Amino acid sequence: MATDAVVVKKRSAGRRLAGLFYGRPRLQIGSLLAAPMAWLVILYMGSLVVLLITAFWTVNPLSGSVIKEFSLVNFEELVNVPVYREIIWRTVRTAALVTVTDALIAFPIAFYMAKVAGRKTKAALVVAVLMPLWASYLVKVIAWRAMLAEHGVINWALAPLGLHGPEGGVTAVWLTMSYLWLPYMILPVFAGLERIPDSLISASEDLGAHPLTTFRRVILPLSFPAVVAGSIFTFSLTLGDYIAPKLVSNEQFIGTSIFDSITNNQPFAAAFALVPIVVVIAYLGVARKLGAFEHV
Amino acid sequence: MRLSKQAKIVLRCCVGLVLAFVYIPLLVIAVEAFNSSKILKWPPPGFTFSWFGKAFESESAREALITSIEAGVVAMLIAIILGTLISLAVGRRKFFGRETISFLVVLPIALPGIVTGVALSNTFTQVLGIPLSLMTVIIGHATFCIVVVYNNVVARLRRTSGSFEEASADLGADTWQTFRWVTWPSLRSALGAGALLAFALSFDEIIVTTFTIGAGEETLPIWIFRNLFRPKELPIVPAVAVILIILSIIPVYLAHRLSTDDGGLTPGRGAAARSTAAPAAIAEAEATAAH
């Protein structure tokens, strides 16, 4: 007994603290999660809730001060003013177009990487596709600004053909965005194709299917959820971007409109920022139906 | 898959075209950095190193670089602490609401950056009455950097068995000894990789930064963005851009080394950070490529 007491006394503060946690899983989890949850729930989720509330406030047009009273003015404006309707529609349309473009570009290379290339080529291609993700996002946008400029590469390359590149329009944004988000499509599609067992493809071939039939009846249905998974990124990233539209075009998009209204009319910017949230959530709902979350 | 010769040729051409599409813009901006003309012009009329010299001399660019590094380091430290805590809870224990937590961690990066930016800036200025400053930038960056550390560490925890920790406890080690000698050595490299990626992500970020930065401050991306609209400073932008590419590739390269050294997961920065699906996809892609 006496020696036990001595041992207990000698236990360091650290050991005593460890003893306190022993056999108390809830306390363990609670102390691990307290700080991060405070940050994410109170600060971040709290901010999102505040954003939602602010969207119903208004700005006094004369003084520019925020009136903290419930009003639907911002939403009425978003729905009724044709310019805003057109901006939302243009952004969603561009996001859809970028998504389809990226899916079409990504599929052949992802297929080659997953099912045709040898081991070494495959590893090299994965790195080659990942590399541009590492290069600065802003630099990539600037690169496209330089390429699309009046005296840029694209006009230089098109001049002998008597053509002129896209200038400051939706086409420029479509090109830039398709470029920016392409790796986000290639990687999930590649991973999805990798998961298709070779034996299924062999079975189809052994049963006499033409390669195109194998592609249409076996490969495409099995890899479609991966394409949808990739489309979540291409779609949602296009929806919220404002740097690329600002740097390569003069057209207004959801992002640029939010950016332009934030200094003068924060409640309106908040209301506008809810638009991409709603669209992304709707899109996630559709993606879930299409099975995009089953493999990721 | 058995393919005809023609089909293979067509596929190879596709691969070549995609790689050209991916790399030509990066080459163009690199070449423009040596362009002797004052406007961006193709083909460049002459060759010069002078923009790099001017970029290094530029006081504002240097200050912006230091601001970026400060923001990146502090955001990274916060992300390391919070990300590791969450992954230890999620990766090693079962409890009600575990799925919700993974979702919560990913949310700041799954939602468009502009939403995070507007939401935080709105809360700071309208509700808390905190003026925008470098601190608010750091808070914003840390919020979306948590996921990178979390993804790396939790993936490592999932691949290493909890039975090592149980064995350590059975052999008489206390909680701290087990952490020090068993958990920590297995997490070290994943944590390092996550930290480097968090830094790189913060270093490169511009969307959340624009909304949360104070009036007098500039990070490097913000500096570049503003100078694009100042004709006098324009020619040094491609030079700074090339420096930025090199600076942001170094941490990612190191992270890659760290996580592949012991057969870990290789995270591509953007994808790993931005998404729920991409980290898994990349991890798998790299794992299969490595076989």
Looking up residue A272, the CATH number of its domain turns out to be: 1.10.3720.10
* Token pair listed for A87: 């901006």
> How deeply is B98 buried, as exposed, middle or buried, from its count of CB atoms within 10 A (0-12, 13-18, 19+)?
middle
DSSP per-residue codes, A38-100: IIIIIIIIHHHHHHHHHTT-EE-TTT--EE-S---HHHHHHHH-HHHHHHHHHHHHHHHHHHH
User: What would the pLDDT profile of B61-77 be if each residue is shown by its tens digit?
Assistant: 899 999 999 999 999 99
**Average pLDDT rounded to a whole number, residues B157-169:** 85
Nearest one of B64, B72, B242 to B148, comparing CA atoms = B72
CB B106 within 8 A of CB B87: no
- A48 to chain B, minimum CA–CA distance in Å? 6
The pLDDT tens digits for A39-48 are 999 999 999 9
- Interchain proximity A243–B225, CB inside 8 Å: yes
A127/A230 same-domain check: yes
Residue A240 lies in a domain: yes
**How much is the ipTM here?**
0.83
In a domain, residue A8? The reply is no
Rounded to an integer, what distance in angstroms lies between the CA atom of residue A249 and that of residue A172? 7
Let me know whether A33 and A90 are in one domain: no
Residue A144 lies in a domain: yes
pLDDT, greater one: A52 or A27? A52
Q: Looking at the complex, does the CB of residue B94 fall below 8 Å from at least one CB of chain A? A: no
Q: Mean pLDDT across chain B, nearest whole number?
A: 83
Res B267: pLDDT: 39
Q: Touching check for A10 and chain B: CB below 8 Å? A: no
Integer angstrom CA distances of residue A296 from A110, A195, B269, B284: 17, 11, 17, 10
Total domains, chain A: 2
pLDDT band (50, 70, 90) for residue A52: very high
Would the CB atoms of A140 and B25 count as touching at under 8 Å? yes
Both A93 and A202 in one domain: the answer is yes
Question: Residue for token digits 């049963």?
Answer: A207
The pLDDT mean for chain A works out to 87
Within this chain, do residues A38 and A80 fall inside the same structural domain, yes or no? no
Does the beta-carbon distance from A47 to B238 stay under 8 Å?
no
Same-domain status, A191 and A279: yes
pLDDT above 70: residue B179: yes
The predicted model gives A113-126 an average pLDDT of 89
Domain boundaries of chain B, sorted by first residue: 51-290
- What is the C-alpha separation between A25 and A13, in angstroms, rounded? 20
Mean pLDDT of A83-93: 95
| Residue that terminates a domain, selected from A30, A50, A67 | A67
Q: A195 and A259 in contact (C-beta within 8 Å)?
A: no
Read off the tokens for B47. 């060759």
pLDDT at B287 over 50: no
Quote the minimal CA–CA distance from A75 to chain B in Å. 17
CB contact under 8 A, A266 and B126: yes
Of A295, A102, A281, the closest CA to residue B107 belongs to A281
Question: Among residues 71-100 of chain A, which lie with CB inside 8 Å of chain B?
Answer: none
Domain with A20, as residue range(s), is 13-67
**Does residue B269 have a pLDDT over 50?**
no
Q: Does residue B165 belong to the interface with chain A, where contact is any CB pair within 8 Å?
A: no
Residues A123 and A26 in one domain: no
Q: For a pLDDT cut of 70, what percent of chain B falls above it?
A: 89
Architecture of domain B51-290: Orthogonal Bundle (1.10)
Q: Determine the residue of chain A that is closest to B114 in CA distance.
A: A240
Contacts 24+ apart (CB under 8 A), B157-165: B157/B87, B157/B88, B157/B91, B157/B92, B157/B187, B158/B91, B159/B264, B160/B186, B162/B92, B165/B92
Cis before A211? omega within 30: no
pTM over the 0.95 mark:
no
**List of chain B residues whose C-beta atoms are within 8 Å of the C-beta of residue A152:** 40, 42
| pLDDT attached to residue A60 | 86
The encoded tokens of residue A9 equal 């006394």
Tell me, yes or no, whether A153 and A283 share the same domain.
yes
Is A208 in the same domain as A187?
yes
**Among the listed residues A8, A67, A47, A101, the one whose alpha carbon sits nearest the alpha carbon of residue B117:** A47
Beta-carbon separation of B86 and A122 below 8 A: no
Model pLDDT, residue B261: 52
Q: What backbone phi and psi angles, to 5 degrees, belong to A66?
A: -80, 130
Both A26 and A102 in one domain: the answer is: no
Same domain assignment for residues A203 and A246: yes
> What pLDDT, in 10s, does the model give residues A192-228?
999 899 999 999 989 988 888 998 999 999 999 899 9
B15 and B202 Cβ atoms separated by less than 8 Å: no
CA neighbor of A275 nearest in space, from A110, A131, A16, A77: A77
